[in-house]
Structure 1
Amino acid sequence: MKNIVLQYQTELFGTLVSLVVFFVLRFIISKAVRRISKLNDINRIRARLIISYITVTLAFILLLVLVLIWGVNIKDIGILLSSVFAVLGVALFATWSVLSNLTAGIILFFYFPYKIGDRIRIQDKDFPDEAIILDIKAFNVNLLKDDGELLTYPNNLLLQKGVVLIQRQVATDKDLEPHL
């Protein structure tokens, strides 16, 4: 055991430093996202969702750093990654709208001037009615129309269309409870 530790001393130290940097960055970014969500009165569930996205991204970066530290043969990884990316490319191309909605959900988290409970009107000829925002999720926004109809509106369309604020915070949590 002692020989293994001495033989891979540099790699083990690099791994330890990488893990510490990962956890420190995750902590700092999580704290910043929570602070932003608190200052902007954003739902905690949305903040946790963004933190999850950031954690997955940081973990992927950590994995790449560990591969470089341990000196894994790039040719072997290249073959593996090219196969994985070929499959992912076909799958992601088929579901580009899902990625578009997910990206729009992240953008809406950081910059969306409307909150849950606001009455809005989307400038869309297919959606001429006003509605109350029930929830803002990763892929869509749940809207409640005046006739009680629940509508899920894709995040990417919400960024593409104009949105008019009719009234701020018209509904209370108690009003929205049966629909959540």
Structure 2
Amino acid sequence: MGKKIDHITPQLQEFIKDQHIFFVGTAADEGRVNVSPKGGDSFRVIDQNKIVWQNKTGSGNETAAHLLKNDRMTIMFCSFEKNPLILRLYGTAKIYHDRDQEFHDYIGLFPQALGSRQIIEMEVDLVQTSCGFGVPFMDFKEDRETLDVWAEKKGQEKIETYWEEKNTLSIDGFETKIK
């Protein structure tokens, strides 16, 4: 059954590598709670207590806005294939943009992708596993290419215009500092 530990073990790191989707949960002190699904080759374990993930352009930018208000974040992985397991990573996070040195320090860890708007770095202070017995079996078919194709068609200049139009405020009106 479930366990609580203070770091990501090598076994759990292997589990993370095998997952095709993860979920990010954030919340400011007020307003709505946000849970965002993320996929593709966008997640890296740096060490037993630090992870980073690449945040590509999307229709909203809730995670960024929330982290500027309250730096707590939860990431959840769950196995839809093979053995059941739910893995949650709890901690505090920082968000980096192209203008930040840390963005450039980490971006090379990921496949090159137009539309990479942020890198999120999280210090993990609690790792929790649970059984996952209630998670259904689902087969992974393939990653969607839609977002990358969209970004390539737009080009960097139009993506930055899109950020100004769609990504500068959260749904609760909080700044994202993307520009």
TM-score range, shorter chain: under 0.3
- The TM-score, its normalising length taken from structure 1, stands at 0.19
- The TM-score, its normalising length taken from structure 2, stands at 0.19
Higher helix share: 1
- Higher relative CO (Cα under 8 Å, sequence separation at least 6) belongs to 2
Higher strand share: 2
The structure with more radius of gyration: 1
